[in-house]
Amino acid sequence: MNRPFAQTACIDWSGQAVERPRGIAIAVSAAPDHPPTLLRADRGWSRPAVLEWLLDHARNDTDMLIGIDFSAALPFLDRGAYFPEWNDSPPDARDLWRYIDCLCAADPHLAATAITTHTHVARHFRMQHGKAIVTGDLFGTGLGRLRIVEQICRAAGHGNAVSCFNLIGAAQVGKSSLTGMRLLHRLGGAIPIWPFDPIPASGPMIVEIYTSIAARHAGLPRGRSKMRDRASLAFGLATFGLPPPAPLDRYDDHSTDAILTAAWLRRAAVREDLWHPAALNNEIGRLEGWTFGVP
pLDDT tens-digit profile, the chain (295 residues): 678 999 999 999 999 999 999 999 999 999 999 999 999 988 899 999 999 999 999 999 999 999 999 999 999 999 999 999 999 999 999 999 999 999 999 999 999 999 988 999 999 999 987 888 999 999 988 889 999 999 999 888 777 788 999 999 777 889 999 999 999 999 999 999 999 999 999 999 999 999 989 988 888 866 555 676 788 899 999 999 999 888 888 888 899 999 999 999 999 999 999 999 999 999 999 999 999 999 9
Q: What is the DSSP letter of 51?
A: H
pLDDT for 91: 98
User: Could you say which DSSP state residue 90 is in?
Assistant: -
CA angle 35, 64, 274 (to 5 degrees): 85
Q: Which domains does the chain have, with CATH numbers?
A: 7-71+186-275 (3.30.420)
Q: Strand runs (DSSP E) across 92-140, as ranges?
A: 126-129, 132-135
- State the sign of the Cα–Cα–Cα–Cα dihedral 108, 75, 117, 96: positive
Give all strands of the β-sheet with 37-38 in edge-to-edge order.
37-38, 25-29, 7-12, 64-68, 205-208
Q: How far apart are alpha carbons 87 and 176 in whole angstroms?
A: 26
203: amino acid identity, one letter: G
State the pLDDT at residue 231: 85
pLDDT at residue 94 in the model: 98
Largest CA distance in the chain: 54
**What is the predicted pLDDT for the residue at 222?**
65
